[in-house]
Structure 1
Amino acid sequence: MDQQAHSLDNPIWTALVTEQAHLGTGAQLARRYHPDVAPFAAMVSDNLPEAWAALAQLLAPSEQVALLSCDPLIPPARLRAQPVGVIHQMVATRRDARVADSADNADIVVLGAADAAQMQDLAAKTKPGPFCPRTHEMGHYIGVRWQSRLIAMAGERMHPAGHVEISAVCVDAEWRGKGLAQRLVENLEARIWRRGESPFLHVLGQNAGAIALYERLGFRLRQRFHLTMVGRAPSDADLN
């Protein structure tokens, strides 16, 4: 496995110490995205007690963050873990930078801060994964509108050096089955390849429909991770 591929073994950490350091906080042992950007956090190693202590310092009393790990997490007593499921990390295998500005993509628009409310509304309805008020700042987001209403979107989320995660792929229920998700993913893929980087994505293991779509688009399984929500355990003071 080459050096770049290793950055995907701990993608949240790698992103937060490289391309997206400005979107997070923390230090040498534990880092997290700002809460209004994304709920993800990571440690340099989940085998170090001092890394767990550093992570605890980044959490508000009632807050949880999401971590990816190869094995189930067993936090120290001061923290509690809530398993969510198994995540499939998939990498693109078809290096194709074409998908240009064809007539088929004329309806695809670039999304930004002015569209944040509509993006959050669509994510709330379709539940593609966490989408916070500033998630759109993590990368390039695109979408499709119908009569001024945002009906589909996708974008770039984690950015570990050399790789870019495609995320928030979602389509309004009334518009599914028309190939919108595929066109958005292919558009993002082409853009990422043209920048000299490699596309990848994460999808819940039980989401068979999404996995089948990504496999048709040339993505293959690279790694499975445990997705776990971690927060502070309630103290005696919290219970009084």
Structure 2
Amino acid sequence: MLKHFEMLDNPVWQALQTIHQSFAQGTAHVQRYPAGVLQFMGCADPASADINEILPWTSVGEKLIIIGELPALPDNWALVRQLDCIQMTCEETSPVDEKETVLALDEKDIPDMLALTGQVQPGFFFDGTPLLGQYYGIRQKGQLVAVAGERTKVTGMIEISAVCTHPSFTGRGYAQQLVTHIMDTNIAAGNALYLHFVNTNDRARNVYELLGFKYRRPIVFWEIIRNS
């Protein structure tokens, strides 16, 4: 099946129009994921979007993230930070073998997932984030030491996200094995994969290239805040 990777130029909007349509809040032109699930917002046409259309679904002081092109910000919004990232894609199974037991995580694991992602990648994972897709983990002596899962979903394409390993357990290949599991599971189901990481994270780039991911494009995560 031919994957329309150009849809990933505006991944949040495309996800909210397709697989994640049930999560969409907003208007015909500007939509977001629910607060507490994912602080992402997308626009049908960022060049002409009026993001104040989303005001009824936001609160003063709330931060949201736009991926890709940044619309013009009205006076009641401000830019908090710009994260320059790399987007990669993959359509093949991983060459890495799974050695550890990979666990499918569920509701009872959410407190541990929040603790781990909050330590390693704060600000991107919330109580409702596991509603977006399946998350997996590795435990050692009962402790959740590594996690990864599925975040935004566009027709035929799944984003791998929340790839986190506890600092005391890095260097053991846990992240590779979790990403491998997600890759192999989705490729078998006919889905391609995509992911994002900060462009200065050479370690992540090396791991993903080893697993078969290919560079697609640079892409920016814009964190904005509603001031009034």
Instruction: Give yes or no for TM over 0.5.
Output: yes
Distance 1:176 1:83 in 2: 28
Q: Are the equivalent residues in 1 in contact too, given 2:36–2:127 (CA < 8 A)?
A: yes
| Counterpart pick for 1:132 among 126, 131, 156 | 126
Distance 1:214 1:129, change over 3 A: farther
Q: Are the equivalent residues in 1 in contact too, given 2:146–2:164 (CA < 8 A)?
A: yes
Gaps of 5+ in 2: none
Q: Are the equivalent residues in 2 in contact too, given 1:56–1:79 (CA < 8 A)?
A: no
Q: Matched residue pairs, number?
A: 227
Distance 1:65 1:135 in 2: 15
**Alignment pair present for 1:181 and 2:180:** no
Q: What secondary structure is seen at the aligned counterpart in 2 of 1:183?
A: helix
What residue identity is the alignment partner of 1:54? Answer: E
Distance 1:55 1:168, change over 3 A: same
Could you say which residue in structure 2 is the equivalent of 1:194? 188
The structural deviation recorded for 1:165 is: 0.4
Q: What secondary structure is seen at the aligned counterpart in 2 of 1:157?
A: strand
The structural deviation recorded for 1:69 is: 1.9
Q: Are the equivalent residues in 2 in contact too, given 1:67–1:229 (CA < 8 A)?
A: yes
What TM-score results when the alignment is normalised by the length of structure 2? 0.92
Distance 1:163 1:52, change over 3 A: same
| Counterpart pick for 1:74 among 72, 75, 82 | 72
Q: What secondary structure is seen at the aligned counterpart in 1 of 2:190?
A: coil
Report the identity percentage: 27
Task: Give runs of ≥4 in structure 1 deviating > 4 Å.
Answer: 97-100
Superposed, which structure 2 residues align to 1:43-58 within 5 Å?
Answer: 43-49=43-49, 51-58=50-57
Higher radius of gyration, 1 or 2:
1
Could you say which residue in structure 2 is the equivalent of 1:220? 214
The superposition leaves residues 3-58 of structure 1 with CA deviations (integer Å, 9 ceiling, x where unpaired) of: 62122111100111111122231121111111111111111112214x32313443
Distance 1:220 1:18 in 2: 24
What TM-score results when the alignment is normalised by the length of structure 1? 0.87
The structural deviation recorded for 1:147 is: 1.4
Superposed, which structure 2 residues align to 1:8-87 within 5 Å?
Answer: 8-49=8-49, 51-70=50-69, 73-87=71-85
Q: Are the equivalent residues in 2 in contact too, given 1:158–1:165 (CA < 8 A)?
A: yes
Q: Are the equivalent residues in 2 in contact too, given 1:139–1:157 (CA < 8 A)?
A: yes
The structural deviation recorded for 1:61 is: 1.1
What residue identity is the alignment partner of 1:20? Answer: H
Distance 2:211 2:122 in 1: 18
Q: CA RMSD in A?
A: 2.0
